[in-house]
Amino acid sequence: MNAELESLQEQIMYNCRISDGRYGGVFSLCGFLLRMRDYYKWETNLDPWEEPDSQELLQWVEHKEDLWGETASRDLIPLTIGPSVFDPFDVDAINARIIDAGLFYGAGYATGMKPTFFLATASSRKILNNMQVHILDHELARDLFTSPAMRQGGHIIARPRTMAAMLWDLILEKKPSTLSALSYALAQYSLDLEGLQRSPGKYSATLWRIARDESETCVYHEVGEAMQEEFDLEVWQEMVAAHANTLVEKVARAAKDLLADTHEHGMLAHIIEHRKKSSLGLYLCLTEPLAKRLFPEIKPAFDRIKAGQEWNLLEDMRHAGFLRAKKLAQKLVELHLEGLHKGRDWVHSQVDKLFLQPLGLGIGRGVGVGGVGVGPG
């Protein structure tokens, strides 16, 4: 690695430490612990299914907390590449400088408006629906937040390592609520849970293959998100910023995710068109509790497909989910605009009353909504 790349990597990691130290609390406790374990594995070059020594992990966590304590109050720094200086969120300009070297840089805002950054080598690129898709390989810098696929402008980025980590978490946990869907997904690759848990290293090549395949399927979530017009992006961004790290943000993200997944060019349409049984099973596993409540058709539709029924039933389910997400998005926009005059608390109470309470969730009910979208919260 040349000196210029080493310098860029360290600058990005510096901003990652600031972001993690200041915003680590936006994750649920479960989500935070899972992300910390995966972060350790990435930093120490372990495969996701290689479990670390518990004492070494504990010492690493203590060291990270010390680093975060030192940097959390600092400001993000611009990135210097040769004689040029860039705003850390100016991804187009930065990538124009590094893409010929086989590198890709990402930056944006995640849950709770947490800044997120990464730098990676790209294994392949392609054009899809007039957008450039980048399949990442080795990640050189990153923060706590990761997602198997994400979009920035006209670029879609697939991160197979993130999918591999999420897949291994599902295999380890074996939650009763996802066991059937997970077993079904793995069976499409001639794998079973018990064998994987006993000897994961034996199936390492297959696990990486699944991670690559399924992260590329997740790319179609980003396609659907880019093409949907029902949730105005500018209004959605205003809403998320105004209600960061609240139930309003969670519902807004769930609505946008559901619109993307159920769009005619989105992930479920891709799964249905190509009869991707493994992707359907993993979709059930990775869709978070609130999104499942907003999309009750998905589980019965999966059960019918698993029983060998026709895939056109799934298409009916996709369309029904899209119409519901469209209405939800339209109402959220109305509440946001009205809330500009009535205040944030009014918006929170209306979202609770209109959306969460009817689902048996809501403020004061002692029932959490968990994360939203794909991946641990």
Residues 201, 112, single domain; the answer is: no
Residues 111, 211, single domain; the answer is: no
Estimate the crossing angle of helix 344-351 against helix 247-262, to 10 degrees.
60
DSSP annotation of 75 reads P
In a domain, 87, yes or no: yes
| pLDDT higher than threshold 50 for residue 374 | no
pLDDT given for residue 364 in this prediction: 43
Confidence of residue 233 (pLDDT cuts 50, 70, 90): confident
Say how many C-beta atoms besides its own lie within 10 A of residue 14's C-beta: 18
Residues 133, 243, single domain; the answer is: no
In a domain, 91, yes or no: yes
In a domain, 355, yes or no: yes
pLDDT given for residue 372 in this prediction: 30
Residues 208, 297, single domain; the answer is: yes
Give this prediction's pTM: 0.90
Least confident range of 23-37, 99-113, 141-155, 192-206: 23-37
pLDDT given for residue 29 in this prediction: 84
Domain end marker among 146, 177, 195: 146
Least confident range of 110-114, 314-318, 364-368: 364-368
The mean pLDDT of 212-226, rounded to a whole number, is 95
pLDDT given for residue 116 in this prediction: 96
d(CA 335, CA 312): 35
pLDDT digits (tens, 9 = 90+) for 138-160: 999 999 999 999 999 899 999 99
The answer to whether 166 touches 148, Cβ cutoff 8 Å, is yes
The mean pLDDT of 152-180, rounded to a whole number, is 93
CA quadruple 340, 344, 346, 351: dihedral, nearest 10:
100
The answer to whether 283 touches 269, Cβ cutoff 8 Å, is no
Residues 353, 301, single domain; the answer is: yes
In a domain, 162, yes or no: no
In a domain, 36, yes or no: yes
Confidence of residue 31 (pLDDT cuts 50, 70, 90): confident
Q: How do 103-109 and 115-128 pair as beta strands?
A: antiparallel
Residues 185, 82, single domain; the answer is: no
Residues 142, 175, single domain; the answer is: no
Q: Quote the tokens at residue 274.
A: 């190509």
Domain span at residue 196 reads 167-359
| pLDDT higher than threshold 60 for residue 286 | yes
In a domain, 366, yes or no: no
| pLDDT higher than threshold 90 for residue 46 | yes
Continuous segment of H or E residues that includes residue 80: strand 79-81
pLDDT given for residue 1 in this prediction: 53
The mean pLDDT of 262-273, rounded to a whole number, is 96
The terminus-to-terminus CA distance of the chain in angstroms comes to: 34
Three-point CA angle 78, 117, 268, nearest 5°: 145
Q: Which residues does 359 contact at the CB level (< 8 Å), separation at least 6?
A: 290, 293, 294
What mean pLDDT value characterizes the chain? 90
Continuous segment of H or E residues that includes residue 36: helix 29-43
The mean pLDDT of 18-43, rounded to a whole number, is 90
Number of domains in the chain: 2
In a domain, 375, yes or no: no
Tell the residue number behind the tokens 């947490």, with chain if given.
Answer: 114
pLDDT digits (tens, 9 = 90+) for 320-361: 999 999 999 999 999 999 999 999 999 999 999 999 988 887
> φ and ψ at 151, to 5 degrees?
-125, 140
Residues 195, 281, single domain; the answer is: yes
Residues 209, 349, single domain; the answer is: yes
| pLDDT higher than threshold 60 for residue 370 | no
Residues 183, 134, single domain; the answer is: no
Continuous segment of H or E residues that includes residue 10: helix 3-23
Residues 181, 326, single domain; the answer is: yes
| pLDDT higher than threshold 70 for residue 313 | yes
pLDDT above 70 coverage of the chain, percent = 95
Residues 180, 326, single domain; the answer is: yes
| pLDDT higher than threshold 60 for residue 241 | yes
In a domain, 246, yes or no: yes
